[in-house]
Structure 1
Amino acid sequence: MIRLLIRVESLRSNQSFQIQRRSFSFLSHFFERRCHVKNTEITSKMTEAMGNYTITKNAPPVSMETFRINRERLYEKMKSVEPQGFILLKGGEAVNVYNTDVEYTFKQEPFFHWAFGVRHPSYWGAICLKTNTSYLFMPRLPESYAIWMGELLTPEDVKTLYSVNQVYYEDEISTVLTKCNPKKIFLLSGTNTDSDIKMDAPQFENSKKYPTDLTVLYPTMSELRVLKNEHEIELLRQASMVSSEAHKYVMRNLPSMVGHFEYQAESIFLHYCYYTGGCRTTAYTCICGSGPNAAVLHYGHAGAPNDKIINDGEMCLFDMGASYYGYASDITCSFPVNGKFTEEQKVIYNAVLNARNKAVEESRPGVQWEKVHLHALRAMFTEMKAHNLLVGDVEEMLDAELGSIFMPHGLGHLMGIDVHDVGGYLDDTPPRPTRASLKNLRMNRFLLKNMVLTIEPGCYFIDVLLEKAKNDEKMAKFINFNVVNKFKRFGGVRIEDDVLITDYGCELLSKVPRTVEEIEAWMNQEEEVKLHFPLPNQRGKKHATPILSPEVIKGQ
């Protein structure tokens, strides 16, 4: 088998699914290239479109204006630091699977993607602050690569595709720097506050010839990434819309999947997002927990790869989100496998739904995030108390840090190119809380218009935490263990939405059934929503259809 390093794909689906369309003043044509390949037909269309992409006919196009606006915002911030400076960013590299010649699916470095929107590996980007000129530096590939990849891109092609001022080869960075003669070069170096992983500054030819600054760029770009421009909001809206429809697709088909593995439900989601929505990758590892696995917060990892059998009567917690042109979605749906809630399932679900509704109500500009988190806990505990799982005063429960037992994670997080986006904790933002029920908040900022974040309250029955509470007299007095013990194999419920902070409140970007009544109605509609491929036990039957139209969600 000859391994092709480059694939040129055109995702041309004639089918459609219901989405909210947005008005755009531009047309575009899509192509995907792993590296630097010129396809005559596609490139000519791209030239006409002046740097815009259409990933699928079912979605709004992607404009390179998205990234030009971001570069302009960065320029305005940085020119006051050093007007004779030069910003130099390094894009991501293709990564091989250990020492094989097989590569992982490429994902662009997020800061570089934010500034340039480049899909290719091994690029550099720059902004000259003296002239406000944008540059891309592409790898100089051997001519022999054209045998395997087709005609290679030229600098002029790249300039058109990505709407930058100048394009050179990577080995010409030093030449451009000599012409610009900057007083200082700003390089990206900093530590992600979610992972605690440090990004080291990139090395380039003659780097020691110029003064460099490693302190300013990372916090500046992190802060800029917190507030999304109008085009970024449309990309995030589309990612959430595709993921919402995929979640609904899974929910409708799940009753027929009793006895199948959780990963088969995951595969339906992945298929829908890519086949119908043009989303090649997800924003994170899918979490498909059923029964007790719903209490494992980051289930789906390599040691527990969504591999339990789905049983009738259980609850499912499916946390899955597609990535659309590098922008994330993050949605969690919790629902009964058979489409009908038991009374016990209703109690826990409605407690979390009340928390979600209260959090949505309280999310608006000027409100600090920890306050929203506490409002959500208060609403959830009130409902749990009403059904005798908890006893006593709700405010005292909050003071006793009972939230760390039933919801041991933060209410939500910033979202953008990264699913857990940067900017949660910077030098000039409120610090991470130290209270047990708040310390896992991924940010504690005051909300601002054009932030995009998740709201994801949950209630879980985690043995190790319940045992901890039982042995802590400050907590134990609030828990009715005679009732709570009945839920030990229940798992948990999480309801997660993607929201945009607006002038006076927030807009829900995710659109899925949320109330008990909505979920039961959706999962039990008489009209069958067929899979695009048969389940394993359907193979060979007359009604099993390998490929069906993606026009599968009806009656919305």
Structure 2
Amino acid sequence: MPDFPFDAETHRRRRERFLQETGGGVAIFCALPELVKSRDTEIRYRPDSDLFYLTGFTEPGTVAVLTPHDEEHGFTLFVRPRNPEREVWDGPRAGPEGARERFGATAAYPIAELDERLKGLLEPADAIFYTLGSDAAMDRRVTELLRGFRLTRPRSGKGPADVRDPSIILDRMRTIKEPGELDQIRASAAIAARAHAAAMRMARPGIGEWELEARVESTFRASGPTAGTAFPTIVGSGTNATVLHYVDNARRTEDGDLVLIDAGAALGLYCSDITRTFPVSGRFTPAQREVYEVVLAAEEAAIAAIKPGAPFTDIHEAARRVLVQGMIDFGLVTGTVDEVIEAKAHQRFFMHQTSHFLGLDVHDVGAYATADGSPVPLEPGMVLTVEPGLYIPAADDVPERFRGIGIRIEDDIIVTPDGHEVITRAVPVNPDEVEALVGTEQAHTETQRHGGEG
């Protein structure tokens, strides 16, 4: 694995903060399994976000146990042992020695020793912090150990009595980003913006959706050893733009099409998420521009609602009201804005939420509502998307000029102490600027060719 952005001390501080909230509990975190694409071909490994956040360890076949009551085993890693034969094929492993020396583990053992040592690590605890359902083998271990402790606890007085979800503590930590995390997300966003701009410059009628996908993803991957895609890239042209998670990317564009690209980079595991919609020919039709300007106005209204203390739901509500008024103006729905929202008639054309958290996962952890059901207030350090859209089917009951138009515009936003910071506007959203950018790579090539012939 290449180097990732944070040093062992950063991960140690995170573990310390986490353990301060666990009381007398012990926490277990398991690596994600390696996945097979087909037969003996594996998918490129991606570490578990929680395990990485707390340890920085990125190898598969790993279990971390955090035990606040045991100084010698406060941070124990069970890892794959060094294996010269396998390392010839798959690359170097840290092994127990590397786990201690490079990642700050107070104790480290081969993963094969997990079963014989886990009971002793858990026994002094009053609870186990573990995500049931995250690892089938660990689920069985934890269940069997709890059953055993239940039998022995009356006489020994030792052993945890229940399992608690670590996300109650960890999600809150991950939702409020550290300054270094914000820098990493800004860098990821800059890569994503370059990739979107590159695709827009490359666009021309007749280009394949897959070619635009290739330009986006090659820009991601060329940006560094830990850079790549945050999620499968969406390139939808024509009516494909009305399919929210269209990922076939198999159609050849035609003159007059809109192209919707929803793509995000991952850098050092931290994600960005941008959507831009543009005319492949370089000019919006009048109907396309009308819809685009409504979606852009909805995005700007939602962004303006982002500030510390504002309820999270204000973002969606601001965007939704602008979009619904646009639907009314276009003849897609009838009634007042409030009547349309009450009847949910708008959901035919705008059926998703406007925002989600962003971080180590593209749909990052974090609560959107409190225990009493009220929306969480925004806080400095939160990172989120704003992504309104209008998706008008090519149906007989909608005005003909709008049929088949799908538009989404998405940016990434950091909540700051005095408001917000938009970190993805290096790729334009203004319709005139969008038109000016589309196809410029081909125009430049043509200019060079004709200049050379002269």
TM-score range, shorter chain: 0.7 to 0.9
Q: Tell me the equivalent position of 2:153.
A: none
Contact preservation (8 Å) 1:414, 1:451: yes
**TM-score normalized with structure 1 length:** 0.70
Q: Name the count of aligned residue pairs.
A: 431
* Secondary structure, aligned partner of 1:355: helix
Q: Which has the larger helix fraction? A: 2
Q: Per-residue deviation at 1:160?
A: 3.6
Contact preservation (8 Å) 2:288, 2:402: no
List gaps (5 residues or longer) in structure 1: 1-30, 33-52, 55-60, 192-197, 432-443, 471-480, 531-537, 544-556
* Secondary structure, aligned partner of 1:71: helix
Higher mean displacement: 398-407 or 511-520 = 398-407
Contact preservation (8 Å) 2:202, 2:439: no
Pairing of 1:61-460 with structure 2 (within 5 A): 61-79=5-23, 82=24, 85-97=25-37, 100-131=39-70, 133-149=74-90, 152-173=93-114, 174-175=116-117, 178=120, 181-184=123-126, 186-189=128-131, 202-204=139-141, 207=145, 208=148, 210-211=159-160, 213-255=162-204, 258-300=205-247, 305-386=248-329, 392-424=335-367, 428=371, 430=373, 444-460=375-391
The 1:112/1:203 distance shift into structure 2, 3 A limit, reads farther
Distance 2:328 2:202 in 1: 34
Q: Per-residue deviation at 1:387?
A: 5.6
Q: Per-residue deviation at 1:150?
A: 6.3
**Offset from partner CA, 1:429-474 (integer Å, 9 cap, x none):** 627xxxxxxxxxxxx53322222111100011135xx78xx6xxxx
Q: Equivalent of 1:516, from 431, 435, 442?
A: 431
**TM-score normalized with structure 2 length:** 0.85
* Secondary structure, aligned partner of 2:308: coil
Q: Tell me the equivalent position of 1:489.
A: 404
**Offset from partner CA, 1:32-86 (integer Å, 9 cap, x none):** 3xxxxxxxxxxxxxxxxxxxx36xxxxxx5444443333222112113xx2xx32
Contact preservation (8 Å) 1:316, 1:335: yes
Distance 2:49 2:414 in 1: 20
Q: Match for 2:411: what amino acid?
A: D
Q: Per-residue deviation at 1:370?
A: 2.6
Q: Per-residue deviation at 1:376?
A: 0.9
The 1:96/1:529 distance shift into structure 2, 3 A limit, reads farther
Distance 2:104 2:444 in 1: 42
Q: Per-residue deviation at 1:103?
A: 1.1
Distance 1:285 1:314 in 2: 22
The 1:400/1:423 distance shift into structure 2, 3 A limit, reads same
**Offset from partner CA, 1:255-293 (integer Å, 9 cap, x none):** 2xx223211110111111001244554222211000100
Q: Match for 1:513: what amino acid?
A: P
**Offset from partner CA, 1:209-258 (integer Å, 9 cap, x none):** 54353224233223332222222222222221111111111111112xx2
The 1:152/1:387 distance shift into structure 2, 3 A limit, reads closer
* Secondary structure, aligned partner of 1:250: helix
Q: Per-residue deviation at 1:131?
A: 4.9
The 1:243/1:147 distance shift into structure 2, 3 A limit, reads closer
Distance 1:388 1:154 in 2: 65
Q: Per-residue deviation at 1:367?
A: 2.1
Contact preservation (8 Å) 1:249, 1:529: no
Q: Per-residue deviation at 1:112?
A: 1.4
**Offset from partner CA, 1:484-539 (integer Å, 9 cap, x none):** 3322133x100111111122322112122011122122236589678xxxxxxx9x
Distance 1:274 1:315 in 2: 26
**Offset from partner CA, 1:399-458 (integer Å, 9 cap, x none):** 332331221111121122221122336772627xxxxxxxxxxxx533222221111000
Q: Tell me the equivalent position of 1:35.
A: none
Contact preservation (8 Å) 1:279, 1:322: no
The 1:239/1:164 distance shift into structure 2, 3 A limit, reads farther
* Secondary structure, aligned partner of 2:36: coil
Distance 1:379 1:455 in 2: 14
Contact preservation (8 Å) 1:273, 1:279: no
Distance 1:179 1:424 in 2: 31
Distance 1:91 1:219 in 2: 19
Q: Match for 1:288: what amino acid?
A: V
Pairing of 1:506-545 with structure 2 (within 5 A): 506-511=420-425, 512-523=427-438
Q: Per-residue deviation at 1:375?
A: 1.4
Q: Match for 1:523: what amino acid?
A: V
* Secondary structure, aligned partner of 1:510: coil
List gaps (5 residues or longer) in structure 2: 150-158, 450-454
Contact preservation (8 Å) 1:351, 1:381: no
* Secondary structure, aligned partner of 2:325: helix
Provide the identity percentage. 27
Q: CA RMSD in A?
A: 3.1
Higher mean displacement: 139-148 or 199-208 = 199-208
Contact preservation (8 Å) 1:322, 1:329: yes
Contact preservation (8 Å) 1:90, 1:202: no
